[in-house]
Amino acid sequence: MDNAFILVVEDEPEISNIIVAYLERAGFRTVTANDGELALTQYRLLKPDLVLLDIKMPKRDGIEVLREIRQTSDTPVIMITAMVEDIEKISALRLGADDYVIKPFNTLEIVERVKAVLRRVQGQGSNERSINVGPLVIDMAAHAVFIRVGEDTKSISLTHSEFLLISHMARAPKRAYSRSELVDACLPEGDALERTIDSHVSNARRKLNSAGILGFLETVRGVGYRLEPLR
């Protein structure tokens, strides 16, 4: 996490400068972009470890930028949103944002959110090599999920938060997990609400369904979610 490279996408210079100052004081390297098109150029050229992305941006807004990033990468993205932008905030979560902060914010909070997300991303190095649940193969070292059908194996592109949820539930796959348990276990440092978990689960389920694994990540009415259905 030390010396991680952060792309700060913010069109208000005063806010951008303050964020950069606090991040660099915490030991991070930074680069900035003040519009959506420049953000994508910087992202493709410099391959940052994490992106701090304001939603309201000129040329291309943060939702468009996030959508472009998620087409090719699971780089952690933290969205910055105004308090009245609930619709944009939820859209960002559905597209695969890892966290969000709401304006006006304490700059120290942003630094802690960055550290928290990077810890989640980099903290997966446990002694476990892989977890197998039905057709799912979860490679903990590679931070990747595969589907095995017969002799064929194909990967599923998950965001870091989606991977955390799947890998956590895979340790007891037939158990029903409450939303609050999943928040505590997988998104403990952020301002994660139960609807945040719902968005991540919905995204992961859609990706499993697209890969041909239908009904695997199921909703348990009145409780939460279960990874492997009871059959």
Domain annotation covers residue 160: yes
pTM passes above 0.75: no
* Cα Rg of the chain (Å, integer): 18
Residues 111 and 140 in one domain: no
CB under 8 Å to 192, separation ≥6 — which residues? 99, 183
For 227, which DSSP code? Answer: S
Mean pLDDT of successive 10-residue stretches along the chain, which has 231 residues: 85 93 92 93 91 91 89 86 63 75 84 85 58 84 80 83 87 84 69 73 90 87 85 64
Residues 55 and 157 in one domain: no
Domain annotation covers residue 231: no
* Helices 86-95 & 194-210 angle (0-180, nearest 10): 40
Backbone phi, then psi, for 3, in 5-degree steps?
70, 15
Split into its structural domains, the chain has a count of: 2
pLDDT computed for residue 107 by the predictor: 87
Angle (CA) 212-217-223 rounded to 5° is 160
pLDDT computed for residue 125 by the predictor: 47
Residues 100 and 138 in one domain: no
Residues 118 and 139 in one domain: no
Residue 59 belongs to domain with CATH number: 3.40.50.2300
pLDDT computed for residue 52 by the predictor: 95
212-226 confidence digits (pLDDT tens):
888 888 898 888 899
How far is 163 from 168, CA to CA, in rounded Å? 8
Residues 75 and 55 in one domain: yes
Q: Domain residues for 168?
A: 130-226
pLDDT computed for residue 155 by the predictor: 86
Q: Is the peptide bond before 188 cis (omega within 30 degrees of 0)?
A: no
Residue ranges of the alpha helices (H) in 36-193? 36-46, 62-72, 86-95, 107-122, 160-170, 179-186
Domain annotation covers residue 94: yes
